[in-house]
Structure 1
Amino acid sequence: MRRATPFLAAALLACAPKHLPPSGPKPALEAAAVQPGDRSRVPEPGPAPALKVPPQRHFQLTNGLKVRLVEVHKLPVVALHLVVDAGASYDPADEPGLASFTAAMLTEGTKKRSATRISDDLGFIGASLSAGAGFDSASLSGSVLSGHLEELLEIFADVLMSPVFPQGDFARVQDQRLVSLIQQRDQPGATAAKTFQKLYWGDHPYGHWPMGTERSVKATRRGDLVRYHAARWKPRSSELVVVGDVAEQGLRNALEKALGAWKGGSTPTSKAAVAKPPRLQTVLVEKRGPAPQAYVMMGMPGFQRSSPDYVASEVAFQVLGGGTASRLFRKLREKEGYTYGIYARSEARKLGGTSFIVGSVKADVTGAATEAVLREVAGLRERPVPPEELAVARNALLLSLPADFAVTAGIAGKLAEEVVYGLPDDYWDQFAVQVASVSPVDVQRVSQKYLDTAKLTTVMVCDPAAVKPQLEGVPLGPIQVRPAAPAGAPSKTSAKVRAR
């Protein structure tokens, strides 16, 4: 940038007023703001945000599709979240990943729209639309300004009812999924999770990776997706959550117009299969390449999402490893310097669950870090949590909850959780009340029940030669060593794909 010349500067000064009028008295708020504060005192926190869960209304379309509506008129926005009983737990045993693959292809083309046209039509009205599948359900969700709701519903219905899974797009998505799975060979977290799932769940519906395997993705054909969609995506096995600036009668009319032609009966539900009997076991998976760290996953039997122990367990896991104030974080990171982060969490699903402790630790202290984890777990089982520590854990859960209900998409997501797991309408109101009432006795009780290290399945992605000697004397059960996944590049599946 060029500097102003002396002549230009002089000219500018000459144009300026010679004397500025004296400023008047500052407003009271501004005057108060410039007063020196007492920096020896921590400012008092403001009032905690209040949890406001809007009331729900339920109705049903003529085709059997259940709808739950929450009217929120603060902003002209509407969020849709369709929950379908078509999750990965329904994957055929020889076709893991089919539910996820099917959902991923819904927005890739319909009978009257290409993938590009779908994207363009959504962009024209400023809308979003996406589909996916987890273990317990599949979903189709979107959002739009309320003035364009009917236009979004027309696209929503087209994607839902008339996907054609175009062959060219199928081959492209198949290649993308295969590349992603191959990349996961070098991701310690994915390697540990896949190994743990198979060790713990065995032939249970939760015993496979939702995305499938490289072999299953290669073997999938377009016709498999067509059949799965026809078999599982049905109105009587689905529920639509609508949140936002829309009135009930207008929504009923719009939904009947858009989705009334969606036909089909209900689908069989998953039976509560039993997981493999838990036993004390450890697997060391060789990490490809240098291994300055060991990725550690320690899992124990957990509980279903609908369990009455869920709330107390969430508080217990917050105390143990829920964040920077937790016991594991303070001990293993702040005091010992073993790790950048280590966490405890529960993974509660429809048919069962697991309790996890996960983190990466320095390879040369893996044994010491593992022993430290076991001591912290034992401490939570053996001694009641001090009231001050319990209050911190409860507040961490309570103070973050209102943010989930601050926007329409967040509300829709929370209500979709109620749908998937059969939770009552007042669940989130009661959740807050129950968290606030969790006692030290409750935390100790669920810790003794669900943090049972005698049933510990441990997976470490590491250099086994460096780590295994450190584990001598650590009560982890028999130790098995597995080689690293082979290196490899994805082959071009698109040339090999055949339509069925």
Structure 2
Amino acid sequence: MNKPAILCVGIVSLMSLSACSVKDSVVDSHVSTKQTSPSLSLPAGIKKITSVTKKDEALVIPFNKYELDNGLTLILHPDNSDPLVHVDITYHVGSGREEVGKSGFAHFFEHMMFQGSENVADEQHFALITESGGTLNGSTSTDRTNYYETVPANQLERMLWLEADRMGFFLDAVTPEKFENQRETVKNERGQNYDNRPYGLLRERVNEAMYPEGHPYSWLTIGYIEDLNRANLNDLKKFFLRWYGPNNATLTIGGDFDEAQTLAWVKKYFGGIPRGPEVEDPEYTQVTLPEDRYISMEDNVSMPLMYMAYPTVHVNHPDEAPLDVLMSILGSGKTSLLYKNMVKNGKAVQAQAGHGCSELSCTFTLYGFSTPGTSLAELEKIARDSLLEFESRGAQDDDIERVKAGIVSGMIYGLESVSGKVSKLAAYQTFRNNPNGIGHDVARYEGVTKADVMRVYKKYIKDQHSVVMSIVPKGQGDKIIKPDTWQRYERNIPDNEDTSDLVLRPGTSDFDRSVIPPSGKNPSISVPEIYRAQTKNGIKLLGAINSEVPTTTIRLRIPAGQTRESVAKLGLASLTAAMVGEQTRLSSAEDLSNKLQKLGSQVSFAAGDKFTTLNIRSLTKNLDQTLAIAFEKLTQPKFDQADFTRLQKQQIEGLKNAKKNASTTASNTFNQLLFGNNNSFAYADNGSVATVEKLTLEDVKTFYQQHYGPQKAELIVVSNLNNKQVNAAISGLELWQGNTSSMPAIQAFPELSAGTLYFIDKPDAAQSEIRIGKRALNYDATGEYYRADLMNYNLGGAFNSRINLNLREDKGYTYGAWSLFRGNEFQGTYKAQAGVRADTTADSIVQFRNEISAYAEKGMTDQELQFVKNAIGQRDARNFETPRQKLNFLAEIMTYNLDKSFKEQQNAILAQITKDELNALATKHLKLDEMITVVVGDKAKVFDSLKPLFKNIVELDPEGNPL
């Protein structure tokens, strides 16, 4: 079930404020032709548990499940559609297993697991996978921690060696230095994603009020700073020994591999790791509130927020599915009651419902961001009235059909990546002890009745108590819904310290684990076959066949982006795109939304620098109906005044809120300084408050009439249909008529005041956002731009680049730092950036300068040259897997008029390029005396420390204007 959700340790965005969920939204996938032979000989110490194969058209992920003698569960999903493998190891431990006073341990430990093990050096884990052309990460939720990597298929043995070494041979490699460094990194992550982000502390406050003191969900997965500060190395080691045994883990592998060889490797690397303590499933206890709890906070935000949260059941509970249907009725999309009662009438910028589920509890949420003139108390009343409205109308057939269609389509879209299939298998095994959970999911949602939905409403929502939170701008405490009725308690931290000795579980090996396994033979990589066409009215078409899944993804690019709007009318392209996505002359927006949801399809419009893009995603069986809706929106917009007023207000409030985000402010200011006040693309796509306030409906109509036409439009398609079938499907586009404009002249860029610091004050900011850079090369697929990107890779383009290793891994100043070249056909930039702890702002700039200047003067090493050649040379194995990836590849070809052989040309350049050539590019492009610096931070904390670093300092307001 797709639910509005956020990562438990990720970014809290304006648009996603529902509770964390352990469930994934990507489910089913392509079925491989490879199947396990019934006579497959198993290595000693591995037993087969079960197999699931595909039958007819049933939605399943075929797999074979095994178990090792030490309790490790192994799930194998062969899929030879692409030359890659995805490896996931999930441990059944998250913040829900933590003790009072030791919050954040599960997530902290996730960080530590990337710091090397007995046979893997510090920072080597990232280096080996990146050099292999792979990608990797980890994540922590309330209930599980997983580590995963996607690599070319020839790297599988190496991945198993890496994962086994940190499962069984980790503790001896943990040092106080690594511990302290990662403690600082986690604190920086909290600062960047919670303390320094608008609405970032919402969930922490709600959870404290929702759950009893001491309940493990009463704190966030990121934990409290004071708990992180109190942690010691022994605590961490004991956490590992308690929870990180193979009997509490599931190893899932999907992709192109030989099953017999994989089983042998798993036995070799994991078989000698001893079992850990036995782990029982956590015990579920119903959460109830004795009364409504009103809480509030003042935050650095522009839009007040009303947020209501009800405790319900737990993940996989029989009532979870009907509660999800209730969520959809109340607050999902333009068919929902909250949209009708809050957003459509202009009372709220956004309003949604959510039902996030975890192992011990689910939370049903209703929220809205109020518009000027609407109080939070009024939004609360509307929310409660909407509940009463549901009670009187009940669930309807359309509601049930919409939700079921969303379930099935979501599962089929999940066919598109091996990582999606693997993560789903791992989650089903971890929380149900059965990887084959898709059939049950389909059945439980298809079995929901209208009576079920009303029953769960009356049981869990009607007359039940909730946490009601108000978040208001600083200094506006009088705007909360009502005075707080619940106060944050002083946390009761137990005094007793665990003084027991560590009981180690040494692993055994009959081979030398210090030897890095060799890579297998490089996989054969081929770019997608493409076809070209042109419609009668001039639309250029570029397509590729993706036979793995019965879906179609389409991107129609109309040259009607920000470059077509004047500086006086910034935001017009974006507002026009939003209006085209509303009602048409033939249908209401609600009717169109209802149809799309029942088809399981997505249709949206968005404006960027050059294009306004119509994005379409559909099950191929529903393509004709989906295209009919998309074409109706494109060619028959109604341009209603009420829609315009509402969307204009939403865009303005969104711009105001963006100014509260330090990272957004820093990036927008940097771009404006580089490309000048006379070029519209130098500004945010949504424009500025001052310009959007002046736009009129006639402006939108005129922009549409002048720029929305088929000439110079481009259509990119990835589908399981062939080119003839695609041409037939899109034939309706040939009736589209309209004007097309030429690309306007780019105004001269301003002369940079190199060496200048541009400073924007953000009072009380826990972090400072830094941008250092200049104008640079325009895009060129096989020219100097491509080569400069290769040059930068070791400096700031990879996780284990010099910049990130210095600022994050060595200094602990930041959650992440990098540098990059970015360009298109009319502009380019070089930029180094990071969000850093406030007290390290000045030294972070010094470190950036040191790394950039040293790289420019001395260049890269022979080892770094080989690293970039290996990493870039092998990553194409994972670049053409999903329809979205294929679409991006086609878009690059279309935008820059490339032949698909440009990838071969790039590979030839990569193979032949020398260290001297790359070092010469570093000397040419990495000149600090040509760069400017932008800092957004707390002036009271950091400004004085910056003064000695700059001869010229200009203070700006959040709009980029000099003070």
* TM-score normalised by length of structure 1: 0.85
CA contact (8 A) 2:773 2:830 kept: yes
1:353 Cα deviation from its structure 2 partner? 1.0
Question: 1:310-389 maps to which residues of 2 (within 5 A)?
Answer: 310-389=785-864
- CA distance in 2 between partners of 1:137 and 1:477 (Å): 40
AA aligned opposite 1:70: A
1:26 Cα deviation from its structure 2 partner? 9.4
Matching residue within 747, 750, 757 for 1:276: 750
2:685 aligns with 210
CA contact (8 A) 1:311 1:434 kept: no
Q: Answer yes or no: is 1:416 the counterpart of 2:430.
A: no
Unaligned runs of 5+ in 2: 1-38, 46-263, 273-508
Q: Answer yes or no: is 1:111 the counterpart of 2:585.
A: yes
1:4 aligns with none
- CA distance in 1 between partners of 2:919 and 2:818 (Å): 18
CA contact (8 A) 2:817 2:832 kept: yes
Question: 1:52-131 maps to which residues of 2 (within 5 A)?
Answer: 52-131=526-605
- CA distance in 2 between partners of 1:113 and 1:428 (Å): 45
- CA distance in 2 between partners of 1:118 and 1:327 (Å): 51
SS of the equivalent of 1:443 reads helix
- CA distance in 1 between partners of 2:553 and 2:765 (Å): 45
Greater Cα shift, 426-435 or 128-137: 426-435
Q: Deviations over 1:74-117 (max 9, x none)?
A: 22222111121112122112001111221223221212222222
1:153 aligns with 627
1:27 aligns with 41
Distance of aligned partners of 1:88 and 1:435 in 2 relative to their CA distance in 1, 3 Å threshold = farther
Q: Answer yes or no: is 1:391 the counterpart of 2:866.
A: yes
- CA distance in 2 between partners of 1:96 and 1:359 (Å): 28
Matching residue within 173, 179, 183 for 2:647: 173
1:144 aligns with 618
Matching residue within 241, 245, 248 for 2:720: 245
Distance of aligned partners of 1:484 and 1:150 in 2 relative to their CA distance in 1, 3 Å threshold = closer
AA aligned opposite 1:64: G
1:465 Cα deviation from its structure 2 partner? 4.5
Distance of aligned partners of 1:49 and 1:184 in 2 relative to their CA distance in 1, 3 Å threshold = farther
Q: Answer yes or no: is 1:200 the counterpart of 2:674.
A: yes
Matching residue within 267, 274, 281 for 2:741: 267
1:325 Cα deviation from its structure 2 partner? 0.5
2:939 aligns with 464
2:119 aligns with none
Q: Deviations over 1:172-220 (max 9, x none)?
A: 2222222211111211111112222222211234322211001122222
Distance of aligned partners of 1:483 and 1:86 in 2 relative to their CA distance in 1, 3 Å threshold = closer
Q: Deviations over 1:280-314 (max 9, x none)?
A: 14344343331332211112121111361121122
1:484 Cα deviation from its structure 2 partner? 5.5
Matching residue within 225, 231, 234 for 2:700: 225
CA contact (8 A) 1:312 1:443 kept: yes
1:367 Cα deviation from its structure 2 partner? 2.2
CA contact (8 A) 1:100 1:133 kept: yes
- CA distance in 1 between partners of 2:838 and 2:579 (Å): 41
AA aligned opposite 1:412: L
- CA distance in 2 between partners of 1:252 and 1:355 (Å): 41
Distance of aligned partners of 1:65 and 1:181 in 2 relative to their CA distance in 1, 3 Å threshold = same
CA contact (8 A) 1:88 1:137 kept: yes
CA contact (8 A) 1:302 1:355 kept: yes
CA contact (8 A) 1:305 1:350 kept: yes
CA contact (8 A) 1:95 1:220 kept: yes
- CA distance in 2 between partners of 1:79 and 1:387 (Å): 43
Matching residue within 624, 636, 643 for 1:162: 636
AA aligned opposite 1:90: R
1:166 Cα deviation from its structure 2 partner? 2.7
- Aligned-pair identity (%): 25
- CA distance in 2 between partners of 1:442 and 1:404 (Å): 27
1:450 Cα deviation from its structure 2 partner? 2.5
1:473 Cα deviation from its structure 2 partner? 4.5
SS of the equivalent of 1:234 reads coil
Distance of aligned partners of 1:105 and 1:401 in 2 relative to their CA distance in 1, 3 Å threshold = farther
- CA distance in 1 between partners of 2:823 and 2:958 (Å): 29
2:607 aligns with 133
- CA distance in 2 between partners of 1:210 and 1:255 (Å): 29
- CA distance in 2 between partners of 1:241 and 1:440 (Å): 38
- CA distance in 2 between partners of 1:463 and 1:169 (Å): 39
1:262 Cα deviation from its structure 2 partner? 0.7
Greater Cα shift, 26-35 or 308-317: 26-35
Distance of aligned partners of 1:142 and 1:397 in 2 relative to their CA distance in 1, 3 Å threshold = farther
- CA distance in 1 between partners of 2:898 and 2:631 (Å): 27
1:291 aligns with 765
Greater Cα shift, 402-411 or 182-191: 402-411
Unaligned runs of 5+ in 1: 1-24, 487-500
Distance of aligned partners of 1:357 and 1:26 in 2 relative to their CA distance in 1, 3 Å threshold = closer
Q: Answer yes or no: is 1:236 the counterpart of 2:734.
A: no
CA contact (8 A) 2:770 2:933 kept: yes
1:191 aligns with 665
2:75 aligns with none
SS of the equivalent of 2:556 reads strand
CA contact (8 A) 1:53 1:429 kept: no
SS of the equivalent of 1:105 reads helix
- CA distance in 1 between partners of 2:549 and 2:681 (Å): 40
- CA distance in 1 between partners of 2:873 and 2:589 (Å): 41
AA aligned opposite 2:891: A
Greater Cα shift, 203-212 or 453-462: 203-212
SS of the equivalent of 1:237 reads coil
- CA distance in 2 between partners of 1:260 and 1:485 (Å): 43
- CA distance in 2 between partners of 1:249 and 1:173 (Å): 39
Greater Cα shift, 80-89 or 105-114: 105-114
Q: Deviations over 1:316-352 (max 9, x none)?
A: 2221112321001111222223222211012212211
- How many pairs were matched up? 460
1:437 Cα deviation from its structure 2 partner? 3.9
* TM-score normalised by length of structure 2: 0.45
Q: Which has the higher contact order (CA 8 A, sep 6+)?
A: 1
Distance of aligned partners of 1:226 and 1:400 in 2 relative to their CA distance in 1, 3 Å threshold = farther
- CA distance in 1 between partners of 2:902 and 2:951 (Å): 40
